[in-house]
A and B are shown apart, each in its own frame.
Chain A
């Protein structure tokens, strides 16, 4: 009986230890939670991939996302999306309106939507989409990564998981990604937490200026 108790204790300790490691001290039960924690703990550099888009000055993504003295809020989208991206689009419209209305913010915070469907979302499709959403190119730009391998590299680096939803579209872990002045992904917010994301971006921009 004593041996059985020892064996049980061993198995339970093993299971608890594994669960402790998997959930990072019982904090994060989902991959998305762990992803956000990891990014907040250590910033992720934007991989050096080629980017194209309407009204785009730079030809690679790190330069596109570098906002000297400022911060960029990034989301991942595809233009034929009927569900979550429409919410994201509305939220970015709202963010754009708030940035335009505030002189300080206009200098410090920019928006970038990255399409992960370059096969459909060509430069002209993105231009139409931007126009349809009323995007102001000074505040909000649209890009995509045409090279398949580079796109995959970007998605894996930023831990964006895109899966076919069975209806011709995609499901993806939509979120608001905060990228600092040196094009590093530093924080991820839930797509519903627009205020939190903008507040964090503003404070980060101020910290960058004073630092």
Chain B
């Protein structure tokens, strides 16, 4: 019964956050700045997906797992789709073409759900492979945004672009360090629980 209540709250939170992000003034407010567009709206939509992913029933989870061995498909999709969303033209197009904007929303929610369903199933090796692709890509895009003397998006100022670049680099480094610490603890716990190696 408690589980059911929890799921209800999760569903309300997910739909509430999605409605908030899609609410015209909020959407417009976030999208007038490149920084808020990529660092508030994008992660917000990922969170919606993560919450929705938690609502998938155990039966469906098992069915999906057959197509998502060790979470590989989900992480692969997330990596590939995030790469597409980092193409500068996407940001400009999303502002003027509602189809691109809708596709962007759907894709980010999907990536969030895929992360929720795949991350726990994946081991350190799959996670390392996924982050080893996504984080350097993020950092390189960040460097490009930070150092380019040209505006890569017509709808955003150069200052905004450079700030976003620095943030992307910082986030990639921080996530990388956090994951390495996590991996270290997992491996240490594993060693301690297997005294035969000692």
A is bound by B: yes
Report if B88 contacts A (CB, 8 A): yes
In the complex the two chains form, what is the Cα distance from A31 to B92 in whole Å? 6
Q: Which of A8, A15, A28, A173 contacts B83 (CB 8 A)?
A: A15
Whether a CB of chain A sits under 8 angstroms from the CB of B187 is no
How many A-B residue pairs lie within 8 Å, measured between CB atoms?
Answer: 83
> Quick one: given A7-B67, A165-B157, are A19 and B72 in contact (CB under 8 Å)?
no
Residues of A123-174 whose CB lies within 8 A of B: 159, 161, 163, 165-166, 171, 173
Contact-residue bracket for chain B: 20 to 34
From B69, B80, B90, B151, A22 is in contact (CB under 8 Å) with B90
The prevalent SS among residues of A at the interface is: helix
Q: B67, A22: Cβ atoms under 8 Å?
A: no
Per a CB cutoff under 8 Å, which of A1, A6, A11 touches B77? A11
Cα–Cα, bound, A165→B155 (Å): 10
Are A8 and B73 in touch, CB under 8 angstroms?
A: yes
Which residues of A in the span 81-118 have a Cβ within 8 Å of any Cβ on B?
Answer: none
Interface pair B153/A31, CB less than 8 Å apart: yes
B154, A166: Cβ atoms closer than 8 Å: no
Distance between Cα atoms of A163 and B81 in the complex (Å): 29
- What's the nearest-Cβ distance from chain B to residue A13, in Å? 9
Residues of the B chain whose Cβ atoms lie less than 8 Å from the Cβ of A23: 87, 89
A32 at interface (Cβ–Cβ under 8 A)? yes
A44 at the interface (CB under 8 A from B): no
* A161, B154: Cβ atoms closer than 8 Å: yes
CB-CB under 8 A for A161 and B67, given A11-B76, A19-B84, A31-B89 = no
The answer to whether residues A22 and B87 also contact, given A4-B73, A11-B77 and a CB cut-off of 8 A, is yes
Question: Contacting B155 at CB < 8 Å: which of A1, A7, A161?
Answer: A161
Q: How far is the CB of A33 from chain B (nearest CB, A)?
A: 8
- 12 residue pairs bridging A and B, Cβ less than 8 Å apart: A1-B69, A4-B70, A15-B80, A18-B84, A19-B87, A23-B87, A23-B89, A29-B87, A30-B92, A31-B89, A31-B154, A32-B151
Binding site for A on B (CB under 8 A): 66-70, 72-73, 76-77, 80-81, 83-84, 87-90, 92-93, 151-159
